[in-house]
Structure 1
Amino acid sequence: MSALPAAPVRMRRLFGWLNDPEEPWWERPGPTAVQQHRDVVGTAIYLVVALGVVLASKSAGIAIEGEQSWRAYVAVALMSLPLSMRRRYPLLTLVATSALFLVLSYVSPEASVSAPFQVAYFATLYTAVAWAKDRRMLWIVVLAVLAEMSLWISITFTLTNAITEITPLFEDASGPLPPLAAYVLYTMVMNTAYFGGAVLVGRSAWRTALDRVRVGEQAQKIVKQADELAHRAVLEERVRIARELHDVVAHHVSVIGVQAAAARRVLTVSPDTSAEALRTIEATSREAVAEMRSLLQVLRSEDPGEETRHPEPGLGDIDALVRTHAEAGLLVDVYRIEAREGDLDRLSAPLDLSAYRCVQESLTNVRTHSTARQASVTVRTGGEHTARWLEVEVIDGGRPRQGTSGTGYGLRGIAERAALHRGEVEAGPRTTAPGWRVRVRFPYREAAGTDPEPDRASTPGLAGRPGQAAVTENSTAAESVEKSTALVENRSSPWPSE
């Protein structure tokens, strides 16, 4: 699409009305090779038909007395031949046929009023308006042609003897108007309809071509946007699957690893303890396989609502999670603190799942990368009105286990889950005591259908503490990911120290 060139406002409005209000300078692509071939073939067929019409009219006695017969044939042929180039050179063809129209009207008055002659000129005028690329030059040429034709008609009625030749036609006139005035009015109406019709039809064809281009561009844009959305959906789904696989599998595999190491160390010293560890490995591996199959079944299912899908875990399942860790040798204390009674029961399902996964990953990291034998999990809600929040915190008192540095996907997954809900993460060594702390704060959101407090509104962001800027709805998810990931990587705390 061509841009609108600098021009006076009135000129832009004029050409906007003549062409198109939004894109008055759009250039229509030239005809294809197929279209040019059709023009040549069509002109040949039209020439044969036009000469046949002239032959038929002369055979019927429709001729001007005194005019040589060959002139009509030549005039119609010369007027028809330029049609073969009408779409390739529309303005040049219009200028050529306009000149031929004037000259041939004197060479053969008989041909100038015949249908083949008039139709050929109409086609060139229509094609010029429909196919000309330079719209400014087009309308200049059209105005020149109209002025030329008006002048020719005026000269015909005033300076030539054409009126005297047609005066015998007025002998039987019976209308209320004077015969000459009626004839002039008739000529003006017919020419206005002739030239105006050609211009309007051509302008409509040009706009139709523009509309087709617009529709095609919009279709391409829609296809491109659909591809981008599909690609983005695939990437987001891959991240979600990777996060779920890590959270589900890593938990069980870490239990198996710890129990296998314990069984190896006490295999010869305490067979009973070793056997107990092996039984835990067996049970954990079966549970891991079951959860893996359940997850794969959900991924393969075409209907997300199938009954085979199990409910997603939430904070209400922390006690069961703690028991699995206790069986692996990590004792976990759970504390629940609610600013309002029932806060934890009213959580939205996505927030409930994300909070649970953060606790699960944090406990898995404690057992895998720390020497701690005990940890604590605190789930609390707080804040007021539009600044309410949910916080999960996991603390241990151990030291880093040698040779167990991880890939970082676990902490990144926690940061991503926090960012999905516009939350923030603190993860790093404790400052006042041995051990590690992971603390995640989410804006509090209730499940749909629950009865909110009278003065409660949707949470726009986090309630800031000293030294902590709140994350508002104006922040994008990408910004939240960057902030949360930076906190994890820099080990800097957005909350006050212990």
Structure 2
Amino acid sequence: MPSTLTGRRPDPLTGSAPAGVEGLGDVAADPRGARLNAWLNDPADPWWERPGPTPAQLRNDVAGALAFLVVALAMVAVAKSMGMRYESEEIWRAYVATAAMILPLAARRRYPLAVLLASSGLFVGLSYLSPEAAFQIAFQVAYFTALYTAVAWARDRRPLWIAMGLVLLAMTLWVVAYFTVTAGFEEAAANYGEPDGPLPQLTAAVLYSAVVNLAYFGGAILVGRSSWRGALQRERLAAQAAQIREQAAELARRAVVDERLRIARELHDVVAHHVSVIGIQAAAARRVLPRDPGETAQALRTIESSSRDAVAEMRSLLGVLRSETGAGREDGRAPEPGLRELAELAETHRAAGLAVTLTVVEEREGDLLGLSGPLALCVYRVAQEALANVRRHSTAARVSVTVRTGTAAAATRWVEVEVVDDGASRPGTAGSGYGLRGLRERVQLHSGEAEIGPREGARGWRVRARLPLRSAS
């Protein structure tokens, strides 16, 4: 899945650094730089930038640094009271060195690299100024925090590599200063016992200090890297959650649109069928009224029946839009018409003067009994739309409706409805085309195919829809 996280990206064609990032183009060409970049960052998102700290976090940094300073100065006083001090060092130096080391932490997340560089210089310089302070836990924790923050919060990762080099340099200088320039080792060694090991005392002390500092500073780097990757993971999860919400909203919107389209198709079929019957019967009643009152009464009864059916079906459909629950069914709608209603549909058109022949041919006995509800409704609507079009747009007097089942060459079983008439197009009755378009869409929803058009080599019009046969199970 393509990343939606904020940050700068490399060029998708060349793999080089994104435009506007100076000096980063060499990283992709340098395998060692690429490996370091992947380790400090993330192989899948090497140019991601962690969002800056919030105002609340910045305020917490200031408050935390001040609280830490108070505790650290108190611990210096406690250590001096215990006698943990260098006789050659002036009393004030430890307090000043501790305060100078901690105060930059107030801006550690706002300027992580600047605080790290300042802390590195202070760590070396203040270790010379006050070896006593350098061995205080608070002094070392302050540097640990600066290093951790730089790795965790640095937005531009390339300068971070340089900062890591300065950290190693600062650590080396600190060890050298402690064992050569200052008298720290001599004063500390005076409190040691007699050496009893394979290594010289100075060599062992240097090795011990180097290992301890590597573990100490390496731990800060690893913790900072873990924090940075944790922030990346949280943003990824937030982006994924946002994408899921968008997809859920889109699915809900599509479901609403699909339901509206379905209701629109149903309404069109209902209205088109019943209104066409009503219109034709009304015209017939008007013509025969002076000559045959009985036939006029029959036409009016057909109009009455069709109008009631139309209103009932429209109420059933529109009930879905008005309420989620209702009488009759759990979804508030009356049962949808199916194959059983085809005979009643044919009879309605026969009563209106159209000779309708209904034929059912099953390849296997019981094929149509197991037809699913949506498929049966589709067959019914195709026949209904085709018959309504004959009444509106054709001069046909006879129509045949055939429902059959069969098996295709690929052993795929199907159900087919075919409506064929023998008339010609009635002048001045061209429709909008929405009915045929809706018919094709309805058939396509069931992975079927529709053929609509004039009959080849014969007079009349033919509508045929073939649908893959699915049972109601």
Q: TM-score scaled to structure 1, two decimals?
A: 0.82
Conserved 8 A contact 1:2-1:23 = no
Offset at residue 60 of structure 1 (A): 4.7
- In 1, the alpha carbon distance for the partners of 2:269 and 2:100 equals 84
Conserved 8 A contact 1:393-1:437 = yes
Partner of 2:145 in structure 1?
123
Conserved 8 A contact 1:423-1:441 = yes
Offset at residue 309 of structure 1 (A): 4.7
The change in CA–CA distance for 1:259 and 1:217 in structure 2 (over 3 A counts) is same
Partner of 1:349 in structure 2?
373
- In 1, the alpha carbon distance for the partners of 2:181 and 2:61 equals 39
- In 2, the alpha carbon distance for the partners of 1:221 and 1:86 equals 33
Moved more, 236-245 or 279-288: 279-288
Partner of 2:350 in structure 1?
326
Partner of 1:301 in structure 2?
324
The change in CA–CA distance for 1:52 and 1:165 in structure 2 (over 3 A counts) is closer
Partner of 2:432 in structure 1?
407
After superposition, give the CA deviation of every residue in 1:173-197 in whole Å (9 maximum; x if it has no partner): 7889876565445433432332122
- In 2, the alpha carbon distance for the partners of 1:301 and 1:93 equals 62
Conserved 8 A contact 1:71-1:107 = yes
- In 2, the alpha carbon distance for the partners of 1:211 and 1:20 equals 10
Partner residue of 2:229 out of 202, 207, 210: 207
Offset at residue 363 of structure 1 (A): 0.4
Offset at residue 206 of structure 1 (A): 0.5
Q: How does 1:154-165 map to 2 (within 5 A)?
A: 154=176, 156-157=178-179, 161-165=183-187
Conserved 8 A contact 2:151-2:160 = yes
- Is 2:392 aligned against 1:368? yes
Q: Give ranges in structure 1 of 5+ residues lacking alignment.
A: 450-498
Partner residue of 1:277 out of 276, 291, 299: 299
The change in CA–CA distance for 1:185 and 1:97 in structure 2 (over 3 A counts) is same
The change in CA–CA distance for 1:167 and 1:54 in structure 2 (over 3 A counts) is closer
- Is 2:9 aligned against 1:3? yes
**Structure 2 counterpart of 1:251, one-letter code:** H
The change in CA–CA distance for 1:148 and 1:43 in structure 2 (over 3 A counts) is closer
Offset at residue 358 of structure 1 (A): 0.5
After superposition, give the CA deviation of every residue in 1:73-132 in whole Å (9 maximum; x if it has no partner): 221222122112211221121111111111111111222222332222111111001011
- Is 2:432 aligned against 1:426? no
Conserved 8 A contact 1:337-1:380 = yes
Q: TM-score scaled to structure 2, two decimals?
A: 0.86
After superposition, give the CA deviation of every residue in 1:281-324 in whole Å (9 maximum; x if it has no partner): 11222222222233334553359962965443323432121011
Conserved 8 A contact 1:349-1:447 = no
Q: Give the superposed CA RMSD.
A: 2.8
Conserved 8 A contact 2:175-2:210 = no
After superposition, give the CA deviation of every residue in 1:245-300 in whole Å (9 maximum; x if it has no partner): 12223222221111111122222332222222112211222222222233334553
- Is 2:270 aligned against 1:253? no
Partner of 2:442 in structure 1?
417
- In 2, the alpha carbon distance for the partners of 1:236 and 1:143 equals 61
Partner residue of 2:192 out of 150, 170, 176: 170
- Is 2:391 aligned against 1:358? no
Partner residue of 2:159 out of 99, 112, 137: 137
- In 1, the alpha carbon distance for the partners of 2:194 and 2:440 equals 100
- In 2, the alpha carbon distance for the partners of 1:73 and 1:394 equals 101
- Is 2:453 aligned against 1:447? no
- In 1, the alpha carbon distance for the partners of 2:114 and 2:29 equals 26
Percentage of matched positions with identical amino acids: 58
Moved more, 284-293 or 235-244: 284-293
Moved more, 408-417 or 175-184: 175-184
- In 2, the alpha carbon distance for the partners of 1:162 and 1:76 equals 17
- In 1, the alpha carbon distance for the partners of 2:362 and 2:231 equals 66
Moved more, 211-220 or 153-162: 153-162
Aligned length, in residue pairs: 448
The change in CA–CA distance for 1:42 and 1:160 in structure 2 (over 3 A counts) is closer
**Structure 2 counterpart of 1:45, one-letter code:** A
Conserved 8 A contact 2:338-2:379 = yes
**Structure 2 counterpart of 1:112, one-letter code:** A
- Is 2:411 aligned against 1:386? yes
Partner residue of 1:111 out of 120, 133, 136: 133
The change in CA–CA distance for 1:305 and 1:385 in structure 2 (over 3 A counts) is farther
- In 2, the alpha carbon distance for the partners of 1:394 and 1:207 equals 66
Conserved 8 A contact 2:178-2:184 = yes
- In 2, the alpha carbon distance for the partners of 1:402 and 1:318 equals 29
- In 2, the alpha carbon distance for the partners of 1:243 and 1:353 equals 12
**Structure 2 counterpart of 1:423, one-letter code:** G
- In 2, the alpha carbon distance for the partners of 1:53 and 1:171 equals 27
